[in-house]
Amino acid sequence: MPKKRDDAARENQRLNRFGLYSLILRDRLNLSRNSSNDFETHIREAVNWLCRAQDGTPDDGFARAYNLATGWEPSYPETTGYIIPTLLDYYHLTGKDEILHRSIKAADWLLKLQFPEGGIPAGTVATEPKIPTIFNTGQVIFGWVSAYKESGNSLYLEAIRKACDWLVETQDDDGAWRKYGSFVSTYALNTYNTRTAWAVLQGGRLLDSDKYQISAVKNIEWALTQMNDKGWFDNDCLIDNSKPLTHTIAYTIRGILEIGLAVKNERFINSAIKSASMVLNTLHPNGFLPGRLDCNWTPKSNYNCLTGACQMAIIWLRLYNLNKDMKFFNGAQRAIKYACSTQDLKTSNMGVKGGIKGSFPINGEYGKFEYLNWAAKFFVDALLAYDIINHEHKECSN
pLDDT tens per residue across span 166-200:
999 999 999 999 999 887 777 889 999 999 999 99
> So what's the pLDDT on residue 6?
38
The residue extents of the domains of the chain are 45-397
β-strand 71-72 against 120-121: which pairing, if any?
A: unpaired
Q: What is the pTM of this model?
A: 0.93
* pLDDT for 12 beyond 70: no
The span from the CA of 11 to the CA of 24, in Å, is 20
The span from the CA of 121 to the CA of 77, in Å, is 8
- The model's confidence at residue 84, banded by pLDDT at 50, 70 and 90, is very high
The span from the CA of 36 to the CA of 171, in Å, is 46
Q: What is the pLDDT of residues 294-338, one digit of tens each?
A: 999 999 999 999 999 999 999 999 999 999 999 999 999 999 999
From residue 209, how far is each of 13, 78, 147, 301, 307 by CA, in Å?
Answer: 57, 25, 20, 43, 33
Cα dihedral 363, 365, 370, 375 sign: negative
> So what's the pLDDT on residue 13?
38
CB distance 272 to 198 below 8 Å: no
Amino acid at 349: N
CA-based radius of gyration for the chain: 21
Contacts 24+ apart (CB under 8 A), 148-155: 148/206, 150/88, 150/100, 150/103, 150/104, 151/104, 155/111
* Main-chain phi, psi angles of 351, to 5 degrees: -80, -15
CB distance 190 to 135 below 8 Å: yes
Q: Average pLDDT of the chain?
A: 92
Cα dihedral 163, 169, 172, 174 sign: positive
> So what's the pLDDT on residue 14?
35
Preceding peptide of 85 cis, ω within 30°: no
Q: What is the pLDDT of residues 116-169, one digit of tens each?
A: 999 999 999 999 999 999 999 999 999 999 999 999 999 999 999 999 999 999
CATH class (in words) of the domain with range 45-397 = mainly alpha
CB distance 338 to 287 below 8 Å: yes
CB distance 223 to 196 below 8 Å: no
